[in-house]
């Protein structure tokens, strides 16, 4: 398996054809993404995407699915372990327990334009599909545990 490099989106691709062809001959895969500095970088081993609630996770999977899918595909293509860390004050600590969760009525009533309550079983099924298809991993914690868990995941390379 060849190396993957991130190329900054501000790098004008049409002006670097010889370099791109050389990368291709070397088996290097280029993934274009905005970089804070420089034109090329190696992707991180792990990236953590935090969700402040199960409701936010549901919104990404349902309402903003195309963007979320692109993010998962981008991480997979860059060979980066994407971990989606879902904060919640419920007892949800795994995809299995997410499958048992149902949005509380009070939460449903607060969401503007909501047509139906969110059922964890449907979310859990979507999470399992995304794990299988894109290699993304879903983890759950309380808001108080979140900062510590992010650091653990980044330092440990995404391992549980």
pLDDT in tens, 49-96: 999 999 999 989 988 889 999 999 989 988 899 999 999 998 899 999
The reported pLDDT for the residue numbered 1 is 55
The reported pLDDT for the residue numbered 65 is 86
Mean of the per-residue pLDDT values of the chain? 90
The reported pLDDT for the residue numbered 82 is 97
The reported pLDDT for the residue numbered 110 is 72
Q: Report how far residue 123's alpha carbon sits from residue 138's, in angstroms, rounded to the nearest whole number.
A: 11
Angle at 92 between CA 59 and CA 45, to 5 degrees: 70
The reported pLDDT for the residue numbered 115 is 72
The mean pLDDT value for 114-143 works out to 92
The reported pLDDT for the residue numbered 160 is 59
Nearest to 84 by CA among 28, 140, 134: 140
The reported pLDDT for the residue numbered 157 is 64
Three-state secondary-structure class, residue 36: coil
The mean pLDDT value for 33-51 works out to 93
């Amino acid at each position: 398996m060849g190396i993957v490099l991130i190329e900054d989106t501000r790098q004008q691709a049409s002006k670097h054809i010889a370099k791109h062809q050389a990368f291709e001959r070397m088996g290097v895969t280029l993934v274009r993404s905005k970089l804070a500095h420089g034109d090329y970088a190696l992707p991180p081993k792990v990236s953590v995407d935090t969700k402040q609630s199960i409701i936010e996770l549901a919104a990404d999977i349902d309402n903003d699915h195309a963007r979320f899918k692109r993010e998962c595909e981008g991480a997979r293509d860059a060979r980066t372990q994407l971990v989606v860390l879902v904060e919640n004050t419920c007892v949800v600590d795994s995809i299995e327990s997410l499958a048992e969760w149902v949005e509380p009525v009070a939460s449903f009533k607060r969401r503007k334009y909501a047509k139906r309550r969110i059922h964890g079983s449907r979310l859990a099924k979507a999470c399992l599909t995304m794990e299988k298809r894109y290699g993304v991993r879903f983890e759950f914690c309380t808001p108080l545990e979140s900062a510590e868990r992010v650091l653990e995941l980044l330092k440990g390379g995404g391992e549980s």
